[in-house]
Structure 1
Amino acid sequence: MFKTVLRYITQWRLRQASQRNFLIFCSVIVGLLGGLSAVALKYLVHFMEELSRHIAEHLPFHIIYVFLPALGILLTVAYEHLINRDHIQKGIGNLLISIKKNKSNIGINNTYSHLISSSLTVGFGGSSGLEAPIVCTGAAIGSNTGRFFNLSAYEKTILLAAGSAAGIAAVFNSPIAGVLFALEILIGEITIPTFIPLLIASATGVVVGKMLNSRQLFHLVTEGWLFSALPFYVLLGILSGFVALYITNVADRLEKGIFKKYNRYVRALAGGLLLGIIILLFPPLLGEGYHYLQEALNGNMEALKEESLYADWLSQPVLMLLFIAALVLIKVVAAGITLGSGGNGGTFAPTMFTGAFLGLLLAYGVNQTGIIHLNTSNFIAVGMAGALSGVLHAPLTAIFLIAEITGGYVLFIPLMIVSSISYIIARMYNPHNMYWTHLIHEKRIYPDQDYSMLSTIGLDQVINREYTLLQKSTPMTEFFKALSTTNVNIFPIVGDSGELEGVIWMDEIRKRLFDNQTASATVGDFMVNPPAIVQQDQSVSNVMELFDRLDVWQLPVVDDGKFIGFISKSALLTKYRQALIQQHRNADFFARYDDAH
């Protein structure tokens, strides 16, 4: 029944609309669902926060900070293990894996599982952000919309990015930043065929978000900038670049997991309690931290003392400076512990928090000297952009996001200066953004364009299964007879159960072809070990690395030890060329109207 309905829908859309127009129609659907998901996540988090407050009313003061984050992480781990069965794909890095290696296919359970698990983590005080979960949710919506309509991998990638753009746009009420995030982080290229669906989905997401939840993330607080503050914006850009490197390195190490030798529940409880102790010492690290960020934007420094164990000490400017500096350094640690112990969230919000308090640290510190008075709100806003630009390696996203959510268009020049300097410094020491760095360290993906293209090719597509099997006891006279029926340059030697024992290279046989002793010998006398053996589940990019490193053109392939065929470098290069041509054809296809449809 379902297949019949899908077939009728496919036939209808082919008759009624061009492929490009239909993709735009799909982007509206994806934007609508992405916006609804963002609103649903906000309400879920609000519900969890109210629930956690209700629980806190029955606990001693300050103790809630220790136990509630652990409870949230524990519930998240239990949900993912017992209900979701570990099918959730956490993090934006997994989206890149899906695009590069899985033809933009994402499991349908990811359309809702991130909403539940991240609301449990953040709603109970986990020190992470909701941006990565909503990006993953929107991406899953886009991917599954493309799968429902049986679209190509290229079209699914566009819809995946459109869903991510809609999610970001709806959360921040920032349509331009949503589009730029999808282009800079997920797709990596800007073309009209990709830009239009992203723009439509992003705008649709914002409209839905404003209709159902009109609350602004931050209020308009920024003012015009002064030329006398320009050197300090340059200094903030330099500091942001090095802080971005710090965020990337710390997050990469902690998100890989903590307390690894224990089971998931012990790890969640231990990590949650450790996080709770940190939050007890630094209350602004609770949850996303946007409440304290807004208070800092309003110039309300007293809010940082709320529920602090040493509020009286923070009345002294020097100790307040040290407290702010500690927040800059520890927020990413708290976020890493949250995620490393099993919570679901992202480092997008912690990065913004860190950048904001870096800007506050600089402005507040300079103001205490009396040399010049700096607008702390401006430096907080620009600091957010600097940290995001350095961590994400996405300066355009950082500039427009902060400009849109703070109303800081008057700060465009400082935003450009700080974001550019931070990006240059961060890229100088680390050529990859935070997501790529994590994947590269795990050796799961390569950022190079050639390897990205190779990763879209399946190994089964290039395995040559036409071969002549030989055994070590086969006389060379029979081998010579086999040569007359084939033109291959390599032959496999296998055992009785099909396991690979060695190979014979024709180049070596030619050297001894007219040797009198050759005719009386057996194949085993000429057998050699291959320079490497390829496993059937090995990635194509790894195989290409083997070819380049060993300087060979053919290698045997085995599956569970048994020989199944050969793979050649020339076949790989041919397949790569075909994939490259197909990519350009897809781009050209969406650049014009397809009158055939």
Structure 2
Amino acid sequence: MPKNTIHRLLSPLLLWRLRHVNDRVYLIVVSILVGIVAGLAAVLLKTSVHSSQELLYSWVPEQYRVFALSFYPIIGVALTVLFTRYVLGGNLSRGIGPVIYNIARQGSIVPRSKLYSQLVTSFLTVTFGGSAGLEAPISVTGSAIGSNTARVLRIGRRERRLLTGCGAAAGVAAIFNSPIAGVLFAVEVILSELSAAYFVPLLISSATATVVSKALYAGQPFVLITTSWPVEAVPFYLMLALFTALLSVYMIRVYFWADKFFERQRGTFRKVLLGGLALGLLVFIFPPLYGEGYNIVQLLLGGHASQLVDGSLFSVYRDDSVWLVLLVAAGSMLLKVAATTITIGAGGNGGMFGSSLFAGALCGFIFARLINLSGLYPISEVHFIVLGMAGTLAGVVHAPLTGIFLIAEITGGYAMFVPLMVVTSVSYLITRYFEPYSVYTRKLVQRGVYVHQDRDRGLLAQLDLFQLVQTDFQPVRPTDTLGELVNTFRHATRNVFPVVDAEGHLHGVVTLDTVRDALFDDEHYTTTRVRDLMIDPPAVVRPDDTITDTLRCMEELGAPALPVVNGHDRYVGFILKSTILANYRRQLIKESEV
């Protein structure tokens, strides 16, 4: 239905609302609506993926299953690429990073295509064994639901931002049946700052989605009943935090290294073939890498770690050796991030959220099993498995509160709150020391989009530097004479003149102050050239410079304006400090509007 038609049909309802329903109540009602729709989307995705996986699994005889599991992923990635190219026009925008960008730079306007694109592509990828999680796609879908609901209902900019967060919170809450974790995920990852009054719509949306999920689908994947934890184990909690922090740093760095590798590859179907074969090989050697991996976590929590070897090449040597199990666990833990990145880089869709939980569970298991084998102190492997999940999630996503409450809610381990706080906080702090930005925000920061820094920096980051460039500065040639320069001065409105050659390259600048004495030297009007009078600018702004860096440079140099060049070092114009500050003020007013 066309957008104008929708607005025309809704106009009487919106007018009635303005007369009879106050803004706060209306926002709560809309947040409930967003929670219902996002919850239904999460249930649809989870149910369809799990049902389809069981169907694919049952088709293949057991003796050929390992070969099928190695071949399925390339089919899923290929189908995802075909859908992306021929239905979405090649534009998928994977992951949560683009949504954070939509909020930071585009007024929380999430493209309508994300209402369905993330669901379909993640379904195709993960159903066929793509080694990635469904949390990011459903979170993006929820954000799109919230954003576009606000647009259709003509809700203001700030409320649209809130409803975008409500959708993300509802999606995560519905997947795990964990409403508090959904809210905290939205606050820590999606929204850079939040007024305390806005927690109510977030809580309501998240709780609504959880109710929908509970009613239609048992979305809570893990169950753990525990009543206490030993104080004597605190040193081991700290040691585990260190290991999960190192694992988090490793995962972030490998993720972006592999991401750059795939960006350098040319040809869509070459990526599909290369990535599909690599992923198939990894799954063939380490079958736990197939799909999300939550079934493996459930095996660990159930005390069935020996089944990690089932279906792998190592099963032919199986003699119930604990070292063989640890070898498969360690290989799967270290290669999970590679499998996820290959899945995404080859053209599939998924996220690092579930992969972090998977790798963290294996990390906790390996650590606990080694401590128990050493005889130092008997510790609960189940406790350390869930603590490893929380610590790794906190490090990779930079969301310690989400890690604490998610694990507490989905495992029923509220008695583990203190160990959870110890492991997640230490893991987060150590990871952030080595990797200041999360797996979701690092690429955005490289593009100059600061989303979780101070408010001033965040507002500046929303400005587009090249849109602020002033192009009314009169350029002069290096070969122009002093007389020609004087004639240019007579008709100019600026007192700075860029010196540009015929190819458009910037050679320097001429200002009235630097040539004031020469202006009165009539004898040299025909012999003195502009190249003899020009000076180097204090600095030059290039395409990869951010607004924040440019403003800082101006402050340090005391320069009111700096020349700007493009990627080919050709002159574009000047950026003025006054222009930056004026646009910053307008952005501040816009953000403060109710």
Same fold (TM over 0.5): yes
**1:127 to 1:467, Cα distance in 2 relative to 1, 3 A:** closer
Q: Distance in 2 between matches of 1:138 and 1:489?
A: 52
| 1:491–1:285 distance in 2 versus 1, CA, 3 Å | same
Between the two proteins, what is the percent identity of the paired residues?
Answer: 39
CA shift, 1:61, in A, is: 3.7
- 2:103 — aligned with what? 99
**Post-superposition offset of 1:315:** 0.6
**Matched AA of 1:573:** L
Equivalent residue number for residue 44 of structure 1: 48
Q: What residue is the counterpart of 1:359 in the other structure?
A: 364
The alpha-carbon deviation at position 122 of structure 1 amounts to: 0.9
- Partner in structure 2 of residue 78 of structure 1: 82
* Residue 574 (str. 1) matches residue 582 (str. 2): yes
Q: Distance in 1 between matches of 2:504 and 2:258?
A: 45
Equivalent residue number for residue 412 of structure 1: 417
Tell whether the 8 Å contact from 2:96 to 2:440 is kept in structure 1 after alignment: yes
Q: Distance in 2 between matches of 1:367 and 1:224?
A: 19
User: Could you say which residue in structure 2 is the equivalent of 1:307?
Assistant: 311
- Pick the aligned partner of 1:123 from 109, 122, 127: 127
Matched, 1:512 2:522: no
Deviates more, 1:121-130 or 1:53-62: 53-62
Alignment of 1:172-571 (within 5 A): 172-258=176-262, 260-311=264-315, 312-313=317-318, 315-440=320-445, 442-443=446-447, 445-446=449-450, 448-449=453-454, 450-459=456-465, 462-464=468-470, 472=480, 475=484, 478-479=487-488, 481-482=490-491, 486=493, 488-491=494-497, 504-517=510-523, 524=530, 540-541=547-548, 543-544=550-551, 547=554, 552-556=559-563, 566-571=574-579
Unaligned runs of 5+ in 2: none
Q: Which residue is equivalent to 1:593?
A: none
Deviation at 1:362, TM superposition (A): 1.7
Report the CA distance between 1:234 and its aligned residue.
Answer: 1.9
Q: 1:169 to 1:575 in 2, by over 3 A?
A: same
What SS is found at the alignment partner of 1:299?
A: coil
> Aligned-pair distance for 1:572?
0.7
Q: Which deviates further from its counterpart, 498-507 or 41-50?
A: 498-507
Aligned in 2, Cα 1:7/1:465: closer, same or farther, shift over 3 Å?
farther
Compared CA separation, residues 104 and 257, structure 1 to 2 (3 A)? farther
* Cα distance in 2 between the residues matched to 1:409 and 1:106: 35
1:132-160 superposed Cα distances (whole Å, 9 cap, x missing partner)? 11111111112222222334433322111
C-alpha spacing 1:556/1:23, structure 2 compared with 1 (3 Å)? farther
Tell me how far apart the structure 2 counterparts of residues 498 and 359 of structure 1 sit (CA, whole Å). 60
Q: What's the TM-score once normalised by structure 2's chain length?
A: 0.88
SS in structure 2 of the partner of residue 345 of structure 1: coil
Give the 3 Å change call, closer, same or farther, for CA 12–512 of structure 1 in structure 2. Answer: farther
SS of equivalent residue, structure 1 residue 60: helix
Deviation of 1:530 (Å): 5.4
Gaps of 5+ in 1: 590-597
- Report deviation, 1:496: 10
One-letter code aligned to 1:553: P
Structure 1 distance, partners of 2:288, 2:508, is 64
Cα displacement (A) at 1:5: 3.5
Tell me how far apart the structure 1 counterparts of residues 15 and 402 of structure 2 sit (CA, whole Å): 39
Residues 166 and 58 of structure 1: CA distance in aligned 2, closer, same or farther (over 3 Å): same
2:561–2:577 CA contact under 8 A, matched in 1 = yes
Distance 2:21 2:505 in 1: 54
Counterpart-to-counterpart distance in 2, 1:390 and 1:497: 49
Task: Give the letter aligned to residue 458 of structure 2.
Answer: S
2 CA distance for matches of 1:20 and 1:459?
36
Distance 1:5 1:496, change over 3 A: farther
The answer (yes or no) to whether the contact 1:131–1:349 under 8 Å persists in 2 is: yes
CA distance in 2, matches of 1:477, 1:279: 74
Provide the rounded CA distance (Å) in 2 between the counterparts of 1:365 and 1:561: 58
Which segment drifts farther, 407-416 or 509-518? 509-518
Contact 2:336-2:359 within 8 A present in 1 as well: yes
Range moving further from structure 2, 182-191 or 550-559 = 550-559
Query: Take 2:22 and 2:393, find their aligned partners in 1: how far apart are those partners?
Result: 39
Structure 1 residue 549 displacement after superposition:
7.2
Structure 2: distance between partners of 1:43 and 1:521 = 82
What do residues 45-69 of structure 1 show as CA deviations (whole Å, max 9, x unaligned)? 1243144225535993421122111
Deviation at 1:127, TM superposition (A): 1.0
1:98 Cα deviation from its structure 2 partner:
1.5
- Choose 172-181 or 225-234, whichever is displaced more: 225-234
Report how far residue 332 of structure 1 moved.
1.7
| 1-structure distance, mates of 2:19, 2:476 | 56
Farther off after superposition, 51-60 or 446-455: 51-60
Answer yes or no: is the 8 Å Cα contact 2:48–2:123 preserved in 1.
yes
Q: Structure 1's 371 and 455: CA in aligned 2 closer, same or farther, altered over 3 A?
A: closer
Q: How far does residue 42 in structure 1 lie from its aligned partner after superposition?
A: 0.9
Partners of 1:160 and 1:313 lie apart in 2 by 50
Q: Please tell me the residue identity of whatever aligns with 2:366.
A: L
